[in-house]
Amino acid sequence: MFKQLIENGYQAEVPDIWLTNGNPWEIKRGDIRFPIGFGGKTEQGADGTATWTPAEQVVAVAYDNPIPGWRTPTVTNLRLWDAEPLTEFDLEAFNAGAYDQATVEAERAGAISAVLYPNDSTPEGKELRLKQQYFFVSASLQDVLAR
């Protein structure tokens, strides 16, 4: 996330890109994926049932990290999550000349799991933090219920 430095007697934070070469112990589990929706609206059907249509959706993809036990043959698993877009690249927007819009979905999804605990002193930071919390809880609960 970040390194803490002392500059002119004050604490300063700078990015710490410690996973530039990846994590050799982390195993992407592309077969374990769950949809996560944010915002949207609910509509009530004639039979009284409600249907939720999310305004934004991402996919939670599992990453497993083996954690060996101390003086035991047991290895447990730490499951982490990455947010991926439903559509990586919007070719239609790109071909229409909206180049900046072609990757918006990927950028929004990436922001959810890129930096844990963003600055939440702004409304945008608060929204991102809430999305992160909901994302990780929803993915983990869906994973537990799927087992």
Q: DSSP labels for 69-118?
A: PTTSS-EEEEEEEEEEESSS--HHHHHTT-GGGTTHHHHHHHHHHHSSS-
- From first to last of its 147 residues, the chain has per-residue pLDDT tens of 567 888 899 888 877 666 677 788 999 999 999 999 999 999 999 999 999 999 999 999 999 999 999 999 999 999 999 999 988 787 787 888 877 777 888 888 888 988 777 788 999 999 999 999 999 999 999 999 998
Which pLDDT value is given to residue 128? 93
Looking at residue 34, its amino acid is F
Which pLDDT value is given to residue 37? 97
Domain assignment present for residue 10? The answer is: no
Domain assignment present for residue 9? The answer is: no
Locate the DSSP E strands across 9-74.
10-15, 27-38, 41-44, 50-53, 56-68
Domain assignment present for residue 7? The answer is: no
Domain assignment present for residue 13? The answer is: no
Q: Give me the number of domains the chain comprises.
A: 1
pTM of the shown model: 0.79
Domain assignment present for residue 4? The answer is: no
Domain assignment present for residue 1? The answer is: no
Domain assignment present for residue 6? The answer is: no
What is the residue range of 131's domain?
Answer: 22-146
Domain assignment present for residue 81? The answer is: yes
Tokens read off for 111: 């922001």
